[in-house]
Amino acid sequence: MNQEMDYSEPRHVAFERYVVSLVAFVCAGIFVFFAVVGPLGLGILQHRTSVSGIYQLAGQDLADLLLMTPLLVVGGVLNLMKRDGAKYFLVLTPITMIYTGLSYGIGQEWGDASIIGNVESYFVYFLALIIGGLIIGMSSLSMFSEDDAPVFKPRGLKVYVVLVAIFLLFFTMMWVADVNQVIAFGDTTTGSYSSAPTGFWVIRYLDLGISIPLGFMSLYLMLTRPKTAYPIILLFFGFFVTLGTAVNTMAIVQLMSGDPELAGSVAAGLFIFPILGILAWAGFLYLVKDKIRRK
């Protein structure tokens, strides 16, 4: 008995859909794995960094477990079900996955023999996050069309852009002040540089070279071409929401652990980062408000 075949979806499109969902599930599994074997859990995965760095990594793992993992799982499931909402979950994750893979992989104190660890044994997992971020990023962007963009109110948008720009400048000044301290005195006031110099430079390069420029680029696109650049803006804001949540979770873990390095310019971050986190979530919710109302 002949059965009718469904030709509504080309084979290559179906293949890509299954691959993207599989990648999302694998990366979600990696984040769960890190939370279990890393400093947050069993401590089997030992990072080559300072004690303060360990506290921060525990906070990162906690945020990834509670936020990144559900986003990837829900996005992967909805994508398998051919639901349009999948793209709004998947697009939040790629840049943070790449950032995490790079910072975990190259931000270790490889040159300090006194800091022991086995993080190099997990190389393939960090690499998988970077590759997974590239795959999900490219695929999720292609899922959007210009019709997905909401209607923006110029006056409220300008106020929001100014607020975010101000706190991005504060963030920039905070990191630049740390760099200037190291250049002038060889260390930061808290000793965070001397305890983990590689991690210090990796984070400053990633934030000053990627995170903050992406922030200003997002604000510019929101003002100049919010409809045509809508998926790019969502991609950037996904990064701010997920990484911003992680940074604030790190600070909470550091506070609860009595981290002595949580002082000076880092302490200023206890004021700046929560506000940036709130603004990031507010901006993201504003970007998807029409989709939420339709539900």
Q: Give the model confidence (pLDDT) of 224-278 as tens digits.
A: 888 888 888 888 888 889 988 988 898 888 888 887 766 554 555 567 788 888 8
* pTM for the model: 0.88
Q: How many of the other CB atoms lie within 10 Å of CB of 26?
A: 15
Percentage of the chain modeled with pLDDT above 90? 47
* Mean pLDDT computed over every residue of the chain: 87
Phi-psi region of 264 (alpha: psi -120 to 50; beta: other; left: phi over 0): left
Q: How far apart are CA 1 and CA 227, in angstroms?
A: 50
Q: How confident is the model at residue 4 (pLDDT cuts 50, 70, 90)?
A: very low
Greatest C-alpha distance within the chain: 82
6 pLDDT above the threshold of 50: no
Q: What is the pLDDT of residue 283?
A: 84
| Beta carbons of 231 and 148 less than 8 angstroms apart | yes
Q: How far apart are CA 258 and CA 247, in angstroms?
A: 17
Q: How many of the other CB atoms lie within 10 Å of CB of 113?
A: 7
290 pLDDT above the threshold of 80: no
Lowest mean pLDDT among 187-191, 213-217, 233-237: 187-191
Q: E strands, 70-145, where?
A: none
Q: How far apart are CA 208 and CA 259, in angstroms?
A: 24
285 pLDDT above the threshold of 60: yes
5 pLDDT above the threshold of 50: no
Average pLDDT estimate for 54-83: 95
Higher pLDDT, 129 or 160: 129
Q: What is the pLDDT of residue 8?
A: 67
260 phi and psi angles, rounded to 5 deg: -70, -20
